[in-house]
Amino acid sequence: MSSLSENWLIVGLGNPGAEYERTRHNLGFMLIDLLAADAQTQVKRTECRTLIGRAEIEGQLVELVKPQTFMNLSGEAVSCLLQKPERSVEKLIVISDDLALPLGKIRLRTQGSHGGQNGLRSVIYCLKTNEFIRLRIGIAPEHPVTNARNFVLEKFSKSETETVEKVLKNSADAVRTVIKDGVNEAMAEFNGESKMEN
């Protein structure tokens, strides 16, 4: 078990409330729920307007986080959590949906723009840096949509369910690889795999 100074903070972005469960915009929450279930822990303690749970993943102490601020204010919750000395932006992983990536694809990055994702936009603004690990999970439709806001707030269709389950498992493996082997190793393995599938 790691010392307190080495906590990983894994933040899944989403919107709280039953009406948003299993919507495209809530893939971050869905991945946190999967990681928590695999680690046999619960994400229910309240802190900084988040729900948070502790787990051991790949032998390291990890905090799994679901901000309850709604997507556009996610950064306020994340910056509040980072005020504690046992947490750092160097060991922060932010998980979000991405409208520019096809459904079933993922991308790990160590820095970059928000790409129009309002939760990432808020995190970058509140932390005053874009240098943190982020895992983006694709939700792009096969055909152009006229209203992106409505699209991201829709639930996944039955035909998409199998792909969603697969990409969540792949994303969980990517997070574990970051923790176990480092982000560069994880990017080489999972970003490369996504490119080969294109």
Residues classed as catalytic: 25
Nearest one of 118, 18, 122 to 76, comparing CA atoms:
122
| Cα(9)–Cα(26) distance, integer angstroms | 18
Helical pair 27-38 and 161-181, crossing angle rounded to 10 deg? 60
Greatest alpha-carbon span in the chain: 49
| Cα(100)–Cα(35) distance, integer angstroms | 24
